[in-house]
Structure 1
Amino acid sequence: MASFPPSACCVKGIKHEGETTGTTFKVGKYDAYIATPDPSSAKDGALLYIPDVISIWQNSKLMADQFAANGYLTLIIDPFNGDPLPLNRPDGFDIFSWLAKGSTGDNPHTKEAVDPIIETAIKYLKEEKGVKKLGAVGYCFGAKYVARHFKNGIQVGYMAHPSFVDEDELEGFKAPLSISAAETDTIFPADKRHRSEEILAKNGFPYQINLYSQVEHGFSVRGDPNKKTDRFAREQAFIQAVTWFDNWL
């Protein structure tokens, strides 16, 4: 693997404050949120936001709004079919059981279940919104599906603290890719970063891996804005993503 599976740290973090400005709706039968840029500043490209296990919530909505403020129509899709996890689950929560079977026992969050949801979102953006240039951002759980869906038309990618990405999936992403990594991350540790560098260098496409010191897995979405190091890393990781899409999308 280019990164390990999710763990308990994937559901811990801080809820951010702010007024969301996008729209919650359905893409097919799946929950979604869309943030639309001002027509005067809209760019020729859109983003599919594939979230972490908390899915569509305050923080991810605010981030989608901010991508829209930078000119990108941004769609968040719920890859968990209505079964995301709440923030800060108690210690001992079995995330692997949830991934395999879902909260009800019959709603798995495996790649066989998630792939069709991502394909539905991409189809919506292309056919309903007329998107010709598509980028994708993937946070933690979502990073795997950025890699997996290059074949479905993702042209530029960004990942933050990725989890569950297999080496062949990373190798299969034949397009520019940027990654934000945390210094303390048992899911995407130094050896996985270095292996990812080897794979991306071999691919021959533009790539970037930025390492943010004194932060942990999940910092780009759930970092504590009251901690200077968290706030700086979170803001810089977002700028990293926007700059990447501005250059390559």
Structure 2
Amino acid sequence: MSETATIETLSGEQTFSAYVARPEGAPRAAIVVIQEIFGVNPGIRRKCDRLAEAGYLAVAPDLFWRIEPDVELAPDVEAEFQRALELMDKFDQDQGIRDIEATIHWIRRSEGVAQVGAVGYCLGGRLAYMTAARTDVDASVGYYAVGIDNLLREKHGIANPLMLHIAGDDGFVDKDTQTAMHEGLDDHPKVTLHDYPGLDHGFATEFGKRRDEQGATLADERTAEFFARHLG
């Protein structure tokens, strides 16, 4: 079952929407699903639906709401891809983390689910790392996160488990950045990195030409095991 929820910002002065997918019966835990640069589009909603099928309460907040509410873009359409890049340039990532934190608070307070994880893709993968470093989320997963080399100074804040899936031939995360991620995080007791040689950015998308079925299946299985171990 899915619905649209309204969530208050941390200040309580404004609200934003979120896509919510509910499991049958009581949820085993909750997971915040963090969008790519394409908004809460059909692919992100499908991620939520899959998590609900696995027994989780899944919530995908509209993080672009301050720029343009209810954005839904298709990555395989060039004009929409360019629009997504424009939105990313305008997006305040620090504010986005505060909205993710507000979503975590809403889940615990309004839904009564204590254990909350997060999973993000692309920009959302970067935000999943930031969420792990800046909030009390219980477990986080980032797929093909961008720019993590610029966030390694925050790794001391990661107190709960974090898993990152790294595409070996990522057009947005070069080899030097991947090396820096390993050098900075391999010895962190809470962080696990998985490499996917030969795969490009977006390999685990639900729809479209970017998806690699074998890579997506492997990454998603690892994510499922990770959440089963660390949530609930």
TM-score by length of 1: 0.76
**How far apart are the structure 2 equivalents of 1:94 and 1:75?**
24
Residues 135-165 of structure 1, C-alpha deviations (whole Å, 9 max, x = no match): 1101111122222233322121101000133
Check whether the contact 1:160–1:179 (CA below 8 A) recurs between aligned residues: yes
Q: Aligned match of 1:173 in 145, 158, 168?
A: 158
Structure number with greater CO (CA < 8 Å, separation at least 6) is 1
1:96 to 1:68, Cα distance in 2 relative to 1, 3 A: closer
In structure 1, runs of 5+ residues without a counterpart are 1-20, 102-108
1:139-158 matches, within 5 Å, as 139-150=121-132, 151-158=134-141
State how 1:3-152 maps to structure 2 within 5 Å: 21-28=1-8, 29-39=15-25, 42-43=27-28, 45-81=29-65, 82=69, 84=71, 86-87=73-74, 88-90=77-79, 93=82, 97-101=86-90, 109-150=91-132, 151-152=134-135
CA RMSD of aligned residues (A): 2.6
**Contact 2:165 2:193 survives alignment (8 Å):** yes
Q: 1:223·1:230 contact (CA, 8 Å) conserved in 2? A: no
Shift in CA distance, 169/140, structure 1 to aligned 2, threshold 3 Å: farther
Contact map agreement 2:43 2:207 (CA 8 A) in 1: no
Where does structure 1 differ by over 6 angstroms across 4 or more consecutive aligned residues? none
- Pick aligned residue for 1:208 from 181, 192, 195: 192
**194 and 100 in structure 1: CA distance in 2 versus 1, 3 angstrom threshold:** closer
How far apart are residue 170 of structure 1 and its match?
A: 4.0
Decide whether aligned partners of structure 1 residues 210 and 152 sit closer, same or farther in structure 2, where only a CA change above 3 A counts: closer
Of 30-39 and 81-90, deviating more is 81-90
AA partner of residue 104 (structure 2): I
- How many residue pairs end up in the alignment? 217
The one-letter code of the counterpart of 1:164 is: G
**Secondary structure in 2 matching 1:25:** strand
Identity of aligned residues (%): 21
State the 1:70 CA deviation: 1.3
